[in-house]
Amino acid sequence: AAPADTADSLRTLVEASADRLALGHQVALSKWDSGAAVEDGGREAVVIMNAVSQGEGLGLERMWVAGLFRAQIEANKLVQYALLADWSRGGAPDHAPVDLVRDVRPQLDVAQKAMMAALPGVAPLRTRKTCRGEVAAAVGDYLYRRQLPAGTLDAIALDRALAGVCGG
Ligand SMILES: O=C(O)C(=O)C[C@]1(C(=O)O)C=C[C@@H](O)C=C1
């Protein structure tokens, strides 16, 4: 694919990753209410298995897809831990009850599908020397477009969420 195609796909991937990450706020609220642990190893395995098998249908390498989603999950946990720690000190924001299994995980699955659709176009970037710089720039563009300040929790976590794009 030409570099322009990669850039478009990367932009789509960054947006879908940010959408997935934003759901971490809802997940954290549900865990605040339920007292459940942030980490759910069984669910992580399901998320990664689903992504890998969807990726195989798209001709994507298993290890790459697994690494990509491991990074997404790690970033999601970063957001959850940070929010829960804040709320332990200051209280959680007012919110309606959040049903993790019925409401939030299906939305995570939708964001995952959007990410998967972008991956074939992003794959050629993996092996470029410029990969890390291009990913960092794409995140910077996203933050700029959304007027999200660098250094905030969501901005930091978005860089981490995309840590699996290069190499693998
Ligand atoms: O589904 C959850 O319980 C989440 O916290 C979300 C998520 C994910 O990013 O998919 C993150 C951490 C958990 O270990 C499992 C999955």
| Cα 127 to Cα 113: distance, rounded to the nearest angstrom | 23
Given pLDDT bands bounded at 50, 70 and 90, which one contains residue 141? very high
Residue identified by tokens 């959680």 is 92
Instruction: Give nearest CA residue, ligand 1 atom 10.
Output: 73
pLDDT score of 1? 47
Positive or negative CA dihedral for 133, 10, 66, 100?
positive
pLDDT score of 4? 64
| Cα 133 to Cα 10: distance, rounded to the nearest angstrom | 12
Cβ atoms 59, 120 nearer than 8 A: yes
**How many C-beta neighbours within 10 Å does residue 163 have?**
17
Atom of ligand 1 nearest to the CA of 40: 14
**pLDDT tens-digit profile of 22-68?**
999 999 999 999 999 999 999 999 999 999 999 999 999 999 999 99
Phi, psi for residue 83 in degrees, rounded to 5: -65, -45
Site to substitute for ligand 1 among 77, 80, 112, most atoms within 8 A of C-beta: 77
Alpha carbon of 77 to ligand 1 centroid (Å): 7
Instruction: Give nearest CA residue, ligand 1 atom 5.
Output: 38
Positive or negative CA dihedral for 120, 126, 130, 135?
positive
Per-residue tokens: 46: 């399901």
Residue identified by tokens 């831990």 is 81
Residues of the chain with pLDDT > 70, as a percent, come to 97
C-alpha angle 48/49/51, rounded to 5°? 65
pLDDT score of 3? 60
- pLDDT average, residue stretch 87-110: 97
Domain architecture of the chain: domains with CATH: 3-161 (1.20.59.10)
Whole-angstrom CA distances from 61 to 3, 15, 140 are 21, 22, 27
Per-residue tokens: 111: 């964001």
pLDDT score of 134? 97
Predicted interface score ipTM higher than 0.95: yes
Atom of ligand 1 nearest to the CA of 30: 3
What integer best gives the mean pLDDT of the chain?
96
- pLDDT average, residue stretch 131-156: 97
Site to substitute for ligand 1 among 32, 44, 101, most atoms within 8 A of C-beta: 44
Q: Single out the residue of 149, 158, 147, 143 nearest to residue 17, CA to CA.
A: 158
H helix and E strand count, the chain: 6, 0
